[in-house]
Structure formats: structure tokens, C-alpha cells
Amino acid sequence: MNDLYADALAPLLHDLCTPDTVRAIEAGGDHRALWQALDDAGFADALVPEAQGGAGLALHDALSLMLLCGTHAVPVPLGETLLARAWLARAGHALPPGSIVFGEIHDGAALVRMGRVADHALVARDGVVKLLPVAQAEAVPAGFVLDASLRWPEAAWQAAPSVDTDARPLPTLQACLYAAQLAGALRAVFDRTLAYANQRQQFGRPIGKFQAIQHQLAVMAEHVFAARMAAQIGCRAADLVPERLHVAIAKARTSEAALEVAGLAHAIHGAIGFTAEFDLQLYTRRLHAWRQAAGSESYWYGVAGRQHLAGEHALVLDTLRSATTLP
């Protein structure tokens, strides 16, 4: 993450997005001070073209910012807003103040990730995309603690102007985001587990000196760094939306890693890792939530398989080599 934007965001999150802040917001505390500080610093507009007031970054340039959202368990939708504002700007739509999340309406309601702490939702229904204020929706807690099931009155849906853009790539863009955030959270879990293994004493020496624990840490490291590489592949894009096969590889691999790393981390920590006072659970709960968000590994491995069958390569190895070769 050797870039100016990550170098600026990392200390800001270190100071403002502490584990205590995350706990307070999850418990219903005010999230607006954290959001305003991030928005005022311009990070939410990093992908917006310069002509429209943003930084004009490409998607692969913003990978480091999305990784940091996972590394610090950011409890406001910075990653979602980063992508949503870029999407709206490219559609020629005015950018509203405040945060934006994604949703898709099924049976009248939308499960919206981070919906409890968002100002607007970019919502798709029957192929039509509209930007709706979250305050106008009936909200019911759902899934992860910051998620919500939102149901807008039909009058609010009809009154909102349509965003003139194709809704089909939106789930792919969401999956790209969650793959990057998973990769960041995976590294945070590994770093904390490694530090704990070197500090926790048993039979007169750190538990990290025992071969069984070393093996578990080695397996975690393999998953963590493979996930980081997969997220990098997922963010390759000439414009805003990456190729679906690249995202399938990224989301499938990071989701698979989430299950394994969370299990190993809690196995090494023992019972203390599950306690509310211990920081580990702030990250492993996100691993499980983001693993399912925008499709789990089974869904995206299916997408990758269908992409291969429809592609030009006869051998799976050729498809993988073509998709994973980084420039």
C-alpha cells in the first residue's frame, strides 16, 4: 500500500477508528463524526473523475483504500460510497451529500449492508436503479449488526428519478469491494493472532513456539496472502467495473479464506477470542458477514466455472493463467 492516499488514510483511521469507536457505533452510538471526518478528507470521492470534483483514481488505485476499510473494521460505508459515487458520476447523476450503500429489492424489501449507518441507498428493482434516502424507508435489523432490511413506500420509489445506467454490473462491483475488505480484515486477524501467539505463555514459553500452533499460523499466512493477491486481481479494470471472471476469482478466494482464517484464529486464541471485550471478534464477525455478502465462494466458483466453459481456452489452467497474470 505504498501510495499517497493509503498513507493519508491509514493514520486517520488509526486515530479515529479505534476498536472502542467501532464498538460504540455497533451499539447504536453516533457514527456521523467518523463519517464526516472521512468525507471531509475527500476519500469518498477518490474514484470520481477530476472534472466532477474527485481525485480521478482508477479502481486498482483504490484497492489500498478498500483494504484499509477491512483492516480497521470501518463501521461506516466508506468503501460502498467510494464506488457508488463513482458509479453515479459516470452516469451523469448529481452526487448527494452523505454516504451511499447498495441494495436490490426482492419481495418489496432490500437487505442493505451497512444500511443502519447510511444516508442513501443505490437500489435496483427489476433492472431499474434509483437513489433513495434511507430515512424514508422502514428499517428492520438484519444480518450483521450494521445491516438493515429496508422497505420503501411505493410512492417514494415512484417519486425518485431513475439513474440512467445498467444495473447488471452492480453486484459484480459489490463483490469486488467485499473481496478487498475481506483481504484487509484477514491480514488484521492474522497480525493479531501472531502477536497473541508470541505473547501467550503456556508451560513456560509462548504458545507460538509449539509446532502445532506454528502449523496453524503457516496455514493462516497462506490464506491471507493468497487473498490479498486475489483481491488485487479483482480490482483490475480499465474503467470502474472489472471483468466478472476476475471478480469471481477474487471473491471466491477471499470468502474461502475467511472461513478458514476465522476458525484458526479462534482456535489459537481459545475462549477469550469470542468475548466482547477482546478485539478479535470485531474482525472475525466481519469475515463471516462479508463472506456471504454479494455471494459466497460457492456462488463465485460457479461463476468462474461457467465463464471458463464459455471462454476460448480449452484447459482450465490456460483460463486461470490468462485471468491471474498481473500487468
If asked whether residues 208 and 238 sit together in one domain, one would say: yes
If asked whether residues 210 and 281 sit together in one domain, one would say: yes
CB 148 within 8 A of CB 141: yes
Task: Report the largest interatomic distance among the alpha carbons of the chain, rounded to a whole angstrom.
Answer: 68
74 sits in which H/E element: none
Query: What's the CA angle centered on 90, arms 37 and 128, to 5 degrees?
Result: 100
* CATH number of domain containing 177: 1.20.140.10
Q: Does 164 reside within a domain?
A: no
Q: Does 75 reside within a domain?
A: yes
If asked whether residues 62 and 102 sit together in one domain, one would say: yes
Which pLDDT score, from 0 to 100, does residue 2 have?
Answer: 45
Question: Where among 136, 159, 182 does a domain terminate?
Answer: 159
User: Which residues, in sequence order, are CB contacts of 39 under 8 Å at separation 6+?
Assistant: 81, 98, 99
CB 187 within 8 A of CB 220: no
Which pLDDT score, from 0 to 100, does residue 115 have?
Answer: 96
Q: Are strands 138-141 and 120-125 parallel, antiparallel or unpaired?
A: unpaired
Host domain of residue 11: 4-159
If asked whether residues 115 and 218 sit together in one domain, one would say: no
Which pLDDT score, from 0 to 100, does residue 234 have?
Answer: 95
DSSP string over 107-130: TTBEEETTGGG-SEEEEEETTEEE
Question: Where among 105, 124, 159 does a domain terminate?
Answer: 159
Whole-structure pTM value? 0.94
Q: How many helices (H) and strands (E) does the chain have?
A: 12, 8
If asked whether residues 206 and 138 sit together in one domain, one would say: no
Which pLDDT score, from 0 to 100, does residue 327 have?
Answer: 60
* CATH number of domain containing 39: 1.10.540
CB 144 within 8 A of CB 115: no
Distance of alpha carbon 247 from alpha carbon 110, whole angstroms: 23
If asked whether residues 241 and 319 sit together in one domain, one would say: yes
If asked whether residues 129 and 256 sit together in one domain, one would say: no
Q: Give per-10-residue mean pLDDT for the chain (327 aa).
A: 83 97 97 98 95 92 96 98 95 93 93 96 93 96 93 95 84 96 98 96 91 97 97 90 93 98 97 94 97 96 87 69 69
CA dist 217 → 131, 184, 188, 250 (Å): 44, 17, 13, 22
Number of domains in the chain: 2
